[in-house]
Structure 1
Amino acid sequence: MALALVAPLAASATHIVGGELDLQHKSGTTYTLSLNLYFDAINGAPGALDPQLTASIFSKATNERITNVVLTLTSKTFVNYTSPACAVGSLSTRKLVYTRDLTLAPALYSNPAGYYVAVERCCRNVTISNIVNPGGAAQAFYLEFPAVVRNGAAFIDSTPRIFPPLGDYACRGELFYYDFGGQDPDQDSLAYDMVTPLNGFTTSVLPSVAQAGSAPYPLIQWSAGRSITNQIPGSPALGIDARTGRLTVRPASLGLYVFGVRCSEYRRGVKIGETRRDFQLFVLNCPTNATPRLQVRATGSPALYRPGRDTLRLVPGGNRCLTIRYTDPDPNSVLTLSSRPVNFTGPTPLFTTSRTGTVRAPGAPDTLTTTLCFPDCIDTQGKVYLLDLIVADNGCSLPRRDTLRVAFTATLAPNAAPRLTSTFPPEPALPLPNAPPAVVRVALGSRYTATLLGTDADRNALTLTATGDGFDLAARGMRFTAQNGPGEATGLFTWEPNCDAGRSTVTSLTVRFRLTETGPCVPIPRERVVRFELVPEKDSAAFRPPNIITPNGDTKNDFLSMPDLPADFCGRSFAGITIYSRWGQVVYQSPDRNFRWGGAGMAGNYFYLVSYTDGRRFKGWVEVKP
């Protein structure tokens, strides 16, 4: 396979620690392609830091080159130790980030088999212990990604990000652990396994190329006794949890070891991509570090908790705290206590006193004590929950830990549901799910008032609220006030439809009245939904003036008056009344809505016409009797 030389020839980077490629969706068809390259900051030559590197994209189905992407060096940072106090002068790693935005056009990236990206560079650290000819061993950084269109629709995927980079060393004979688990922006399922690192086609003679070659890529050669399942020897040898991405090894020999990890992503059970990380681990002789120890007892109890034999029973009103004692044989040891739920989520216990301190130093105690209390609102629902209590020291390279697993059950205090009553139309005797709300019809220009009462036998604090479905109460002329308190809450609702309500095309408004309680672990709210319908003000059908008057001076029915006339409202007002004889002659007129017509000496039938400024009219007749 022919590889084009970069002119001029770049310096041979004989101190590459490892790295991985990353492809993240930005928006539309725009993605960001990055190479995270890890470089030995102690032994690496500054001249070996490339200002740019070229990534090549290929079709998986055909190995056809799609394009080359020039990645520019945009960031240089140092990889932190888990514990900075454990730093050694022989180990310092620099993270170099090369990046570029690119367009993945659907017309070009639609092959169902997907695509892969590669960057090639030589060379690795010359002191690596587990491969052949490490000074001439190169690296091919590699990832796979799916087509950006599937079944005619956009198919968006971002690479799972394996993190963080490894800045620590391991101690011979000590268990080493590190989290290489990633996060996937698309919530795809991730699986991890160990792989043999890719060597690619570059060499110490040809350390850098203008573009990567296509797969398949040559692998590094393991030295005698080493393999994909025994990359770092030990008991156990280096391995990774397939689900969590947690690396573990208890190394048996000193040295610098390269290893490879693959993270595959699955969507709906189908693999859609992968990314690989090459890295290396330095194994040193470390000072002896003893494991810290902890003991637990229920607060006030003389007996120690026995893991695997005892189960705590947490009941309302009972003791909910543990007293924890923890120590370490090593002098000047800084201990930190933490808790981790094993088989549950939700409220977790809290340390009520300091959980970090130093033991066996001048003036420091030999044993530390703290208190851990379970919240009242943990409910195991009849199951046994498990909680790990973990004490860790500040030993190097990684803390040593002691874990004690606590089993417990917990029940909640009973809570009676509050009651909500009101003067609204009654609800059905047997409320049904999705039952229609009660309907209250209110005439324009009138006033509607209702009261609500919330009560609670447990005397929990109650709060009454009213909320309009998609509208503001005050803007519609509605008002709700509440008096809230322990065990009881009262509310007053008032609606006086204003002129704006009369002009609105929306004549049906739904209001949710909600009673909530504060205090119990599982509050039980109550809700009353009422639909208010706006109807016209009193019309002629409801207007019933008297039709007989007897102006005989007995003070009974002496005058024709109309006190129940529709009220003046929203610019509409009473214009006047005219009374006609049966022959059409006007016998009485008045602009006063409080008129009184006696009709004395005018026995017979008469007709009246009441007019309003908006053109509304009311007609009728009246008989005058002697």
Structure 2
Amino acid sequence: MLYSKTITLAANTYDSPQGYYVAVERCCRNSSISNIVSPNSAAQTFYLEFPAVVRRGQPFVDSTPRIAPPLADYACINELFYYDFGGQDADGDSLVYDLVTPLNGHSDSNEPKPTAADPGPYPPITWLPPAPATPGAPAPPPLSTLNQIPGAPTLSIARATGRLTVRPTSQGLFVFGVRCSEYRKGEKIGEARRDFQLMVLTCPTNTKPNLAVLPAPTGNVRYRPGRDTLRLAPGTNHCVRLRFTDPDPNSRLTLSLSPVNFSGVMPNFTTASSGAVRMAGAPDTLTATLCFPECMNTAGRVFLLDVVVGDDGCSLPKRDTVRVAFVAVPPPNSAPTIATTAGPALPLRVRVGDLVSFEVNGADLDDPVRLEMAGKGFSPADLGATLSQGTVGNQQRGRFTWRVDCRSVSSDSVRTFEFTAATSPCSTREAVTVSVPVIIQYANRAPALLSDLPPPRPGEAIPVVELPLGRVFTATFTGTDPDRDGLMLTATGTTEDGKEGFDLTTAGMRFDTRNGSGVANGTFTWDVSCLAANLHRSLVVTFRLIDATCTPLPQFQRVRLQVKSPDSLAVKLYNVITPNRDGLNDEFKLPDLPPNFCDVQFTNIKIFSRWGQQVFESPNRDFRWPGQGTGGLYYYYVTYTDGRKYRGWLEVRP
């Protein structure tokens, strides 16, 4: 039965850099164990060690290796026994195996199931001392970690693979310990220890089976390993007979194949490769037929194949192996051929918009042929090229079609298509390739953009047009292209550096165009109004002429448009009045303030006494203030909606 539970170790609690271990203690062991002292009172400890939860400041993820399941086989005295303990690790860590003495632990018969294991270290079991030696015979070696089951050879385990091997010399039930250590980048990060038991019995004698290879279809001449070499040539027999038997009664024999120095294609059994011998109604000798494929090719080398017969004897099967050497030559094969109707004048010369079409034919007298298409340094599919194909007799006929478009235009004006006729005789690829170079003839001359915009002022990069409200500005544009490409004129409100800026209609502007092939015309109109003035910014219009071709060469012209403001005169501020009713300078007024202009409006004026008391306020730009009746010094403050301010002082003389 398998028990499992997920346990999460919080890094802020389990912060030991040495890692942790899990242990369970139980008592007691099987009383029939033959190699330890007092097995009925010996305890056992199940142990697993794993790395720290956090290593070098980072969470450390590790999976426990899955090693072999509990041992369920038995061994026979004086018979070689082996078992694969090799496991797997989900993280790809290296696993190393060795034998260890089983752990006894701290539990006993008085407390066989403690609620929790004590901390390590855990004492090991005590090995049974050797029996007294037979007079005149050498004393047997004592039991130990490296001699846990008496044998010749004694119990051992392969360090890298975990394969267990022993030829036991004593009957009984033997306990032994295996450790699986886990390494990552050369550093040990954990280990798991397991106890196993192996029963050693006295078994009936199992004689190994016998195998004979008969290279001729008939007759009884045996193949002689190490001396004979099978030679498999086209038109010759590719099959051998196998005769196998076993002197033991009621044996079931099975044939298998193991390549020694090659891989890939293997021979196969065309008749039954297993059966029973020396059973009621069964023959004493079985036969099978092994055939090598006609396509097998050793390329002049000698291949070695082990033919193995095994029985089902106890405790492990016995085998007989015949190593067969052979050389094989595949049937002759004619190479495929390929041709196109693209030539003979190569390279092909095309222009953008042309349709390229020709046939590609592949043929092979022996094998089915397929056509393949590739591009040298590019993918034909990315350019829209296709190769449709169908089979007619022993030919594969294809139709290449390509509508040349702008995807084919690049710095490299040559596109080389490669067509291949391929076959797979005896699973070996054979191919022949033909190339069709295509030159894309493409050139583009820049279009020309002309207009009646004024020239730039000295020291400025682009023309400037400044007009007062109510005027209308018009400019005409003409674009021509020597290649007769399609032309398109556009106008865009931009910033000073040509980036997207404003919508033309929001500034009272429009651009009417007549686009066409080779010629395009446009008329720009600006109704100078507060729409432009209220944008409070520099209005730059970029005119663009674009030629509709693979690599366009657009042309540009720009103009800066400004609304002429009427407040260009210098502002005059007055600071003395004499309100004596003589008709001269009787009232305070500021007639030379900037006039209202679009959304730039006079807000108000406020007049204060020298002590900060407001004595007058008016929202009217044409205000009149006659003074306060007595003389003195006053201060005034004028504001506009765009944030402009005018300040001054005023002396009132009676």
Shorter-chain TM-score tier: 0.5 to 0.7
Task: Say whether residues 1:285 and 2:205 are aligned partners.
Answer: no
The one-letter code of the counterpart of 1:519 is: P
Which SS does the other structure have where 1:448 is aligned?
strand
Q: 2:108 aligns with which of 175, 198, 203?
A: 203
Give distance in 1, aligned partners of 2:116 and 2:435: 68
- Deviation per residue, 1:249-306 (Å, 9 max, x gap): 2222221111122233444554444333211011223333332211112243743123
Partners of 1:537 and 1:566 within 8 A in 2: no
Deviation at 1:222, TM superposition (A): 1.2
Structure 1 unpaired stretches of 5+: 1-95, 429-437, 542-564, 573-612, 621-626
Partners of 2:389 and 2:397 within 8 A in 1: yes
Give distance in 2, aligned partners of 1:112 and 1:523: 57
Task: Say whether residues 1:141 and 2:21 are aligned partners.
Answer: no
Task: Say whether residues 1:193 and 2:98 are aligned partners.
Answer: yes
Name the % identity: 51
Match of 2:272 in 1: 354
Match of 2:516 in 1: 616
Give distance in 2, aligned partners of 1:257 and 1:245: 19
Partners of 1:425 and 1:440 within 8 A in 2: no
- Deviation per residue, 1:422-453 (Å, 9 max, x gap): 4569999xxxxxxxxx9986634x42213223
Deviation at 1:114, TM superposition (A): 5.0
Match of 2:426 in 1: 520
Task: Say whether residues 1:227 and 2:136 are aligned partners.
Answer: no
Q: 1:321 aligns with which of 239, 247, 269?
A: 239
Q: 2:322 aligns with which of 400, 404, 420?
A: 404
Deviation at 1:166, TM superposition (A): 2.0
Give distance in 2, aligned partners of 1:311 and 1:472: 51
Give distance in 2, aligned partners of 1:443 and 1:566: 14
Match of 1:443 in 2: 352
Match of 1:460 in 2: 367
The one-letter code of the counterpart of 1:523 is: R
Give distance in 2, aligned partners of 1:308 and 1:157: 50
Give distance in 2, aligned partners of 1:347 and 1:417: 22
The one-letter code of the counterpart of 1:336 is: T
- Deviation per residue, 1:497-541 (Å, 9 max, x gap): 79x999xxxx99998755331223421345679899999999999
The one-letter code of the counterpart of 1:372 is: L
Give distance in 1, aligned partners of 2:3 and 2:266: 42
Partners of 2:334 and 2:366 within 8 A in 1: no
Match of 2:82 in 1: 177
- Following superposition of structure 1 onto structure 2, how do residues 571-586 of structure 1 map, counting pairs within 5 Å? none
Which SS does the other structure have where 1:185 is aligned?
coil
Match of 1:330 in 2: 248
- Following superposition of structure 1 onto structure 2, how do residues 187-586 of structure 1 map, counting pairs within 5 Å? 187-224=92-129, 225-300=142-217, 302-315=220-233, 317-376=235-294, 378-380=296-298, 384-410=302-328, 418-422=336-340, 443-444=352-353, 446-456=354-364, 459-466=366-373, 479-484=386-391, 488-496=395-403, 513-525=419-431
Deviation at 1:407, TM superposition (A): 3.6
Change (3 A) 1:302 1:362: closer
Partners of 1:540 and 1:618 within 8 A in 2: no
Partners of 2:484 and 2:518 within 8 A in 1: no
Partners of 2:208 and 2:246 within 8 A in 1: yes
The one-letter code of the counterpart of 1:447 is: L
Give distance in 2, aligned partners of 1:383 and 1:189: 36
Deviation at 1:368, TM superposition (A): 0.4
Structure 1 or 2, whichever has the larger Rg, is 2
Partners of 1:199 and 1:220 within 8 A in 2: yes
Q: What is the TM-score when the length of structure 1 is the normalising length?
A: 0.59
Partners of 1:161 and 1:183 within 8 A in 2: yes
Match of 2:633 in 1: none
Task: Say whether residues 1:167 and 2:90 are aligned partners.
Answer: no
Give distance in 1, aligned partners of 2:277 and 2:414: 72
The one-letter code of the counterpart of 2:289 is: T
Give distance in 2, aligned partners of 1:566 and 1:147: 76
The one-letter code of the counterpart of 2:171 is: L
Match of 2:568 in 1: none
Give distance in 2, aligned partners of 1:389 and 1:156: 46
Deviation at 1:348, TM superposition (A): 2.7
Give distance in 1, aligned partners of 2:40 and 2:57: 48
Deviation at 1:462, TM superposition (A): 0.8
Deviation at 1:180, TM superposition (A): 1.9
Which SS does the other structure have where 2:426 is aligned?
coil
Give distance in 2, aligned partners of 1:439 and 1:200: 87
Which SS does the other structure have where 1:124 is aligned?
coil
Partners of 1:415 and 1:520 within 8 A in 2: no
Give distance in 2, aligned partners of 1:379 and 1:267: 43
Deviation at 1:226, TM superposition (A): 1.8
Give distance in 2, aligned partners of 1:247 and 1:486: 61
Change (3 A) 1:508 1:349: same
Deviation at 1:355, TM superposition (A): 0.9
Which SS does the other structure have where 1:237 is aligned?
coil
Structure 2 unpaired stretches of 5+: 130-141, 448-482, 487-512, 521-654
Deviation at 1:381, TM superposition (A): 5.6
Partners of 2:65 and 2:87 within 8 A in 1: yes
Task: Give the alignment's Cα RMSD to 1 decimal.
Answer: 4.5
Question: How many residues align structurally?
Answer: 441
Deviation at 1:154, TM superposition (A): 6.5
Which SS does the other structure have where 1:363 is aligned?
coil
Match of 1:118 in 2: 23
The one-letter code of the counterpart of 1:119 is: V
Give distance in 2, aligned partners of 1:501 and 1:115: 63
